Structures are given as structure tokens and as C-alpha cells.
Structure 1
Amino acid sequence: MSDCGCHHEAKNAQERKILRIALVLNAAMAVVGGVAGWIAESTGLLADALDMLSDATAYAIGLIAIGRTARFKANAALLSGSVLLLLGLGVLVEVGRRVLYGAEPLSGWMMGTALVSLAVNFTVLRMLAPLKSGEVHLRATWLFTRADVVANLGVILAGALVWWLASPYPDFVIGTLIGLYVIKEAVEILGDARRARVSS
């Protein structure tokens, strides 16, 4: 009875369900955050939207990887980390461009959108909690979402400072910090993936 594979199939089905819900929520919020960031001229919101887009990509890769070989899963995490690294670097470039050419971020849009994103990400993070000690491609999805929660809190704080100081610089600072945090998470995921490839 213990060799029927039923437990493994149930576990995979549960993982797929969680990742599908997380994928839909993050893809939706990436679109909402991107539009809001464009309207609000906020590098923080744009960075957050890109981060959520990378999450949606990670969840899609995680879904594909379920039931595959350990090497495939390691390669999936490697791809996720590489995408996240590129997005993090892109955020830093966008912040630099806005510092040079100027921007007037709208604090209300920043705080309102980030609050909605925070609620979504906190829900997803709780859903993903059982997966954080799982295989490398599943750990990557949990790390992505943890980074999003931190980023949302940062955007809310930056929005409050933009309003209080009547200055765009808190938005530039949070955009930079999110970009650097995304890069840190990407390096961590890439390290996990490389170790998993070696052991496979």
C-alpha cells in the first residue's frame, strides 16, 4: 500500500493548485501595479510590478517542473533566478533614468496600490508556506513572494514620505532598494539551483 504513489500524487496536485492560484494573483497584480506605476510615475510601483511579473513566471515554471526530474527542477530554478536578476538590474536602470530626467510620483496611487499588493502577497505567502522547505523550484517561489511583501511595505513607506516631503526622492530610493533586494534574492536562488544541479 505504501508503494502506490498516492501520497506523492496528492502532494503534486496540492502544489499545482497552490501555484495556479499564486500565478493568477501575481499576474493580475503585475498588470495592476504596472499601470498604476505608469500613471503615478513611481519607480517603486514599477519595480514592484516587475517583481510580481517575475513571480508569475516562477510559478509557471514551478507548475511545469512538478513531477519532473531533480535536474529539470534545478534548471527551472536557475531560469527563474536569471529572469529575476535581469529584472532587478532593469529596475536600477529605470531609477537612474528617472533621476536624470525627473518624475513626479503620486503618493496616493503609490500607497493605495501597494496596500492591495500587500494583501495579495500576504495571502500568497501563507499559501506557499508549506512549500518553503520543499524542492529547489518550490523554495524559489516562496522566496519571490517574501521579497514582494518587503517591497510592498517599502512602497507604502515611500509613498508616505513622498507626500510628507513633497519630493520624488523617497520613490527613487525605494525603487533602488527593491531592485537591490530583487538582485539579492536572485543570487540566493541561483546559488540553490547550482547546488541542486551538482547534487543531481
Structure 2
Amino acid sequence: MKNYPHNDNIHHHHHHYSHLETGTVSGLNLVLTMLLNLIIAVAEVIGGLLSGSLSLVSDALHNLSDAAAVAISLAALRFSRRGATLEKTFGFQRLEILAALFNAAVLIVISILLFKESVIRLLHPQAINSSMMAGVGVVGLLANTLAVFLLRRDAGKSLNVRSSYLHLFSDALSSVAVVGGGIAIYFWHITWIDPILTILIGLYVLKESCEIVADTVQILMEGTPKGVELEEIYKSIKSLPGIRDLHHVHVWQLGERQINFEGHIDLEEDITISESEKLRRQVEVLLRDKFGIEHVMLQMEYEGCPGTGLVRKTYSQLI
């Protein structure tokens, strides 16, 4: 019977596959951001009605959607931290991903509506009170900028918060457009500059939102996480003494950071359970230290699944 090396003989390399930072998202910052957006929305509705500026009213609606987005983000964060239950054995971690997807989808819809409104304004310019428009726009810009700074750090920790951050960042840019448009209309009567800036801002927001949608869909579809190379994992595990093969592999993300791994390990010899346990621990250490995978479930076998590939084919692929 072979003596298999212990964990300390493995050379570990730390790889960072997630683009998200570690740390706890600040609930207080989310609450302050939500209140700021509600205040901005009320101010812009009043200013828009008094000045006749449709851009202020539409920006107010955007801020209301921001407040709703932040409220959803806050609720999702609170629920996602709850532990597992008998009914939900994985807990509520996926709720944050669903919130990010919903927020990004709303941003895409708003961007498309802004494109439509911009075209209408280009074709049919409207007379507005430019000084009031610029004044209210400055208030909105200051408040939105403060909100952006409140969430800037947390945007790197959560897709959910990142989607809310994008809402706020796009609003800050929109406020710049409103202020610039008001100044341009006041001095040079250039009414077309506001819808042009709105289209440019919308294109940026659309790009960022589509990236968030792609990331969340990949997680919800339980696709292989970004940066995780199955071939590299296969070679690393197979190179361990005593392991013949790795197959029936599944790698997915439960939430934004938790990567799960399961697979079957085919052993070279029919060894005892205690000896196979040593090998199993070696594989777990390897996956954790080299690939950043903390949650591992392995099935140890001896000639259990002959002729099986790294990823098991579905029934439809076999027939």
C-alpha cells in the first residue's frame, strides 16, 4: 500500500478570480443614498413643473427609480445574510443576484426611453426657463455626486450594489447634462445639446448594464465562474499521487463570491477509507489555495465510472 503525501507537500499559489472585493457592504450608506434620491426627485419635479423643463421631470423619474433600486439592494443585502433553513438550504444568497439583474434591466429600459425622448426633443425643441433648469440641476448634481461617493467603495463588493451605483452615476452625469444644457440654452439658445448629451450618457449606461446582466445570468445559469479554468484544475488534481482521474465535475457560483465545486475522484488503488480521506483533504487544500474554491464536495471512487469525461454529458448528448 502506498503512503500518500500530506497537505504540506503541495505548492500553493493564490489566484484571485473574482473581480469583486472582499468586505461588508455598508447598509447606512445605502439608506443615506436612498433618502438623497427621494429629496432630489421631489426638488426636480417641482423645478421641472415651474420651469417647464421636461428634462428635469424625466431626471426626477430617474432619481425615483434610483431610490427604488437602492431600496431593493438594501433589502436583498439583508436577506442574503440570513442563514440556511430547512426550506432554503442554500439560504438567500441568490436574492442579491436577482436584485442586480432587476436593477440592470430597469436601467436598460430607462436608457431606451431616454433615447426616444431625446429624438423627440431634437425634432421638436421646447422653450424652457433655463436659469431655473440650471439651478435645480446644480442641486441635483451635488446630491447625486454625494450619493455616488457614498456607494463608490461598496460598488466593488457587490454586483447588486454596483447596479445601484450605476443608477446614481448615470444620474450624476444626467445632472451635468441638465446644468450644461441650461447654461447653453441661457447664453446661446442651443436647445439640441441636452438630448445629444442624454444619448451619450444612455449609451454608457446601456453598456455597463448589459455587462451586469451578462454576469448575473451567468451566475443564475450556474455557468463556470469567470477565471476558473477546468482544464487547469483537472491537470493539477490528476498530478497528485494516487489519483487516476477526475470526472463528473460541476463548478458554479451560489452568490457573488462563493464558488462551489463537486466531482468524482478515481483512485489508482483500492485503498482504505482513511487513506482516501487524506487524498480528499489534499484536493480540497489544492482547490482552496490555488483556485480560490472554498466549498468542495468530492466522491472518491475506484474504477467507479469508466470512460466518463471531465464534464458529464447530458442524456440528449448521449443519444
TM-score band, normalised by shorter chain:
0.7 to 0.9
1:120-199 mapped onto 2 (5 Å cutoff): 120-197=143-220, 198=222, 199=253
Residues 45 and 52 (structure 1), Cα distance of their counterparts in 2 relative to 1, 3 Å cut: same
Shift of 1:101: 4.2
State the distance in 2 between where 1:117 and 1:153 align. 9
Which residue in the other structure is 1:41 paired with? 52
Shift of 1:22: 0.7
Structure number with greater CO (CA < 8 Å, separation at least 6) is: 1
1:68-147 mapped onto 2 (5 Å cutoff): 68=80, 69-147=92-170
Which residue in the other structure is 1:18 paired with? 29
State the distance in 2 between where 1:133 and 1:140 align. 10
State the distance in 1 between where 2:53 and 2:95 align. 37
Give unpaired runs (5+ residues) of structure 1.
1-9
**Which protein is richer in helix relative to its size?**
1
State the distance in 1 between where 2:203 and 2:117 align. 13
Tell me which moved more, 108-117 or 182-191.
Answer: 182-191
Task: Give the total of aligned pairs.
Answer: 189
State the distance in 2 between where 1:150 and 1:71 align. 31
Q: TM-score, normalised by structure 1?
A: 0.81
Residues 153 and 21 (structure 1), Cα distance of their counterparts in 2 relative to 1, 3 Å cut: same
Identical counterparts, % of pairs: 28
State the distance in 2 between where 1:179 and 1:105 align. 22
Q: Select which of 42, 48, 63 maps to 1:52.
A: 63
Q: Select which of 43, 52, 55 maps to 1:32.
A: 43
Which residue in the other structure is 2:310 paired with? none
**Bigger CA radius of gyration:** 2
Deviations 1:169-189 (A, max 9, x none): 122323333433443343233
State the distance in 1 between where 2:204 and 2:153 align. 23
Tell me which moved more, 111-120 or 84-93.
Answer: 84-93
Give unpaired runs (5+ residues) of structure 2.
1-22, 81-91, 223-252, 255-319
**Which protein is richer in strand relative to its size?**
2
State the distance in 1 between where 2:136 and 2:215 align. 32
Which residue in the other structure is 1:64 paired with? 75
Shift of 1:193: 2.2
Tell me which moved more, 40-49 or 60-69.
Answer: 40-49
- How large is the RMSD of aligned CA atoms in angstroms? 2.3
Shift of 1:77: 0.7
Which residue in the other structure is 2:238 paired with? none
SS in 2 for 1:132: helix
